Structure 1
């Protein structure tokens, strides 16, 4: 089986809930190697089939001067990995608190988290990147509002709630590689059957 490298979980998003979802979605297809902030640089050098980032950049977001885990070395490693043919999936908080002028946001994700209101029913709708099939599901979730460079990516998913509408999923090529960003979902909402099916389909497409 192909090897997936994942770094997930942060102050607001328990690692266990994300792992449970990834294990369910990837079972019998991929082998998942979970990295820590201490060994991520070493493991990405081993050229995994896919890298998943599902954690925010701040180590302690409640601290005004919180340390961050993604430094220039890691940004450069990710840029090299994707440009040489790697695949990068950025989930939910993987878009949060990263330097908007850094290579991770400016060159790779091309979008970032801005804010979210209190949780409520959120509708997700769009169309699969690779087939003539619509996407539609609803979750009681944090409605992530993001800023996306729409001119340099392909948007395939939107989100809407009483608080407004936002982009929820986008993808693009970078060098020889591919990047996909997905904003849902927060903690308990990860168990949604439709979301899990979408996540598996997207990973297989990547």
Structure 2
């Protein structure tokens, strides 16, 4: 079996929405019957990575309590090192939407991603996502990111009333693979056929299927 471990859901992003989007994408993968999908909590990340899943999907922001004065984050130094070593040794990580938000630049995790979330304009906007051969528009949080474009492959860009940004990039890291995918914020956006097809393609690439 091909094992995927997924960390989804945080204060701003309902876990059930991400589960619906992820499962819709996996259902588009030709060898979906061979995939075993496990949802985990942040407390379980370290233990699950010890079992060497084929893919770890992080769709959870680092801050657990963004409304509080004293912020608590889940990415400890130990887990940070473990994630980086997991990929170096052949694992793969997909940082999906919130999975690249709130992680300090100096962490091994962010350095491995070679980019991260900076901000998004308030609310939802019409965002046009552009591939080499097609583009499509949906209502979404428009993520603005920084990305080391010289050391990764950018294959999706975004544009909206607030400007232009990068929406997806991917690269090898050690023996493993890393992909960052910014859309989408809403359940409707995640279930959008274009987003679902793209997410399925990224998962397919990371699994080498």
Shared fold, TM over 0.5: yes
Counterpart-to-counterpart distance in 1, 2:173 and 2:117: 21
1:24 paired to 2:24? yes
Which of 95, 115, 120 is matched with 2:119 structurally? 115
Aligned twin of 1:158: 157
Instruction: State the Cα distance separating 1:135 from its structure 2 match.
Output: 4.2
Query: Which stretch has the larger CA shift, 28-37 or 39-48?
Result: 28-37
Superposition pairs for residues 1-206 of structure 1, below 5 Å? 1-27=1-27, 28-29=32-33, 30-106=35-111, 108-117=112-121, 118-127=123-132, 134-188=133-187, 189-206=189-206
Summarize deviations over 1:31-63 as a string: whole Å, max 9, x none. 111110111110111000111000100001112
In the alignment, structure 1 segments of 5+ residues that lack a partner are 128-133
Counterpart-to-counterpart distance in 2, 1:186 and 1:64: 25
TM-score, normalisation: structure 2: 0.92
Instruction: State the Cα distance separating 1:64 from its structure 2 match.
Output: 3.1
Contact 1:169-1:180 at 8 Å conserved across structures: yes
Counterpart-to-counterpart distance in 1, 2:68 and 2:116: 20
Instruction: State the Cα distance separating 1:65 from its structure 2 match.
Output: 2.1
SS in 1 for 2:90: coil
Counterpart-to-counterpart distance in 2, 1:183 and 1:65: 27
Counterpart-to-counterpart distance in 2, 1:85 and 1:37: 21
Contact 2:64-2:74 at 8 Å conserved across structures: yes
In the alignment, structure 2 segments of 5+ residues that lack a partner are none
TM-score, normalisation: structure 1: 0.93
Summarize deviations over 1:90-144 as a string: whole Å, max 9, x none. 10000101111111112x11111111113111000124xxxxxx24221100100
How many residues are treated as equivalent by the alignment? 199
